[in-house]
Amino acid sequence: MVKDNRKTSFGNSRMTVEQVKLLIHEGEGLTLEFKERYTPRIDEDIVAFANARGGTLLLGVRDDGSITGESLTNDLKAKINSLAPQGRTDRHGHPKDEGGNDRSGSP
C-alpha cells in the first residue's frame, strides 16, 4: 500500500489524505458530519457544532462514507465564507466578543 502524504486544508488546520480517510472510516458521530454536496442548509450543521463541542464537516462524502467529491469553486468558497460573520472570529476561527476580544479561553 502506498502512503498518500498530500495535505488538505480544513479550516485553519491541515490534514493528510490518510487522516481524512481515517475520519471517513470511523464514520459520522457527534463531532463528524458527512455532506455529499453543499446546500444552503449547511449552516444548520455548523450552528449545531458551534452549540455543542465543535466538529468536522466533510463535503463530498455520502452518509455511507463513499467519496463523491465536491469542486471547490470560487463561488462555493464565497458561499462558505459568507456563513461566518465577518469580524466575529479571529484568524484561528475562535469567536470574539462584542469588543473584538478573543472568547476562546486559549492564550
Whether the per-residue pLDDT at 8 is higher than 90: the answer is no
Whether the per-residue pLDDT at 29 is higher than 80: the answer is yes
Cell of 46: 455548523
Contact partners, residue 94, CB within 8 Å, separation at least 6: 102, 103, 104, 106
Per-residue confidence (pLDDT) for residue 93, from 0 to 100: 57
Per-residue confidence (pLDDT) for residue 23, from 0 to 100: 93
Per-residue confidence (pLDDT) for residue 40, from 0 to 100: 83
Q: How far is 105 from 95, CA to CA, in rounded Å? A: 10
Identify which has the larger pLDDT, 105 or 81. Answer: 81
Span 44-97, pLDDT tens digits: 888 888 788 888 889 999 999 999 988 889 998 888 888 766 555 555 555 555
Residue 60 one-letter amino acid: G
Taken as a whole, the chain contains a residue count of 107
Provide the greatest CA pair distance for the chain: 52
Query: How would DSSP label each residue in 69-88?
Result: -----HHHHHHHHHHSPTTS
